[in-house]
Amino acid sequence: MAELKASLACAAFLLSSAVLAFVEDLDDTFKDNRMDDVWLVDFYAPWCGYCKKLEPIWHDVGAELKNSGSPVRVGKMDATAYSGVASEFGVRGYPTIKLLKGELAYTYKGPRTKDDIIEFANRVAGPAVRSLPSRQMFDHVLKRHDVLFVYVGGESPLKEKYIDVASELIVYTYFFSASEDVLPESVNLPELPSVVVFKDGSFFTYDEYEDGSLSSWVNRERFQGYLQIDGFTLYELGETGKLVAIAVIDEKEPTEENIRLKGLIQRVATEYREHFNRDFQFGHMDGNDYINGLIMGEVTVPSIIILNTSNEQYFLPSEPVETLEQLVHFINSVLDGSAQAYGGDGIFQRIKRVAYDARSTVMSVFRSSPVLGCFLFGLPLGVISLMCYGICTAESDDGAEELEMMKREGLTDEEEEEEEEEEERRRQAGKPEAPEDEEGEVERDEKSAVEKKTD
């Protein structure tokens, strides 16, 4: 039995050592020694709950990249212990995941899952623009990616711009280059060189005069025309500068109205792409919980809502949307500014947001753990109540003590008045009255004195 325990302990130690070997602990010497390798680094804080949740996933990422022969080295750094290094890499919160390649630092903003982090690491660690040498390779890549950017042509100023954009936006998507003969015969380009995006079963060509800068065009086109939207996707869509038109539905109960509104949004995304693609992203969201928190209100299910994530405004149809024409009219009214806008980021809305978030936090705590809620919020209120009661009671006691002292000393105002009145009565009662003859004598003496003085 003792030997079995010893074997298990030894196996656990070896396993933990192997796991730790896949993820390196970094210190302040890292910034001087990192330039020769590509690093994927988790900047964490020991007290951070999200960091602790990421820790087992991070070890799996390190093991997967090591076993697959990836050139990416995986590390972690305590950003509170080495705050200077973390600050140099622009770390502002925890955990922060960055891929460091030479002088470049790319911040990961996707879901914190093993597969997504590994896909990000492999994409960013490789060349910014990957070559497609054959039709078979093109078909293979097209099947793997919902959105595919391809530069077609030889050396040109456009290719230089494309490489610069790819270096900037590779955190979001892949970039490829190919010759014209690699593309399918159905793809006819108006001119060469060109930048083409393949998505939604079709392809679209970049036009510098109509689409503006290449970087802005790629940023707008990096999503499919129609998406299933969640909180994370909505956050990413905010970086495109587009308004987001959403059908809020309940996928658990696919009623006729749910299906109809979802179908209308899909039709607008497809049939009116040329009209709205530059300014709108279309999709649907399952349930209204996230939307309700975003607008600090209640959105009915199913319904249509358009969000402007740049200034937190939102738009609702003035009447129920029954037809495609009504939906197109509503979208046009938002585009031309005639639709009623709600929300915003003004001072009133900011105050409302603070109050709403505080209320939501309190309610969520009480829903998840009533006992903890009573302790967190009841205890401070109880202490404050006791302090107020103590202050009021202390003032009352002081008054009572002073009154009692005055009573003991016989110095109250009422008692003093009573004593003075009593003494006055005694003086008046004890004073003798002068006889009438004596009074007359006194008066005559006074008159004689006055007459003599006059003479």
Enzyme catalytic residues: 48, 51
* Residue reference for tokens 């402007």: 308
Give buried/exposed letters for 59-69 (b at 16+ CB in 10 A, else e): bbbbbbbbeee
Q: How far is CA 372 from CA 50, 180, 276, 386, in A?
A: 20, 65, 49, 21
Burial (CB count within 10 angstroms: exposed 0-12, middle 13-18, buried 19+), residue 121: buried
Residue 419 C-alpha from the chain's centroid: 76
In this structure, what token pair is assigned to residue 445?
């003496």
Nearest to 308 by CA among 270, 343, 268: 343
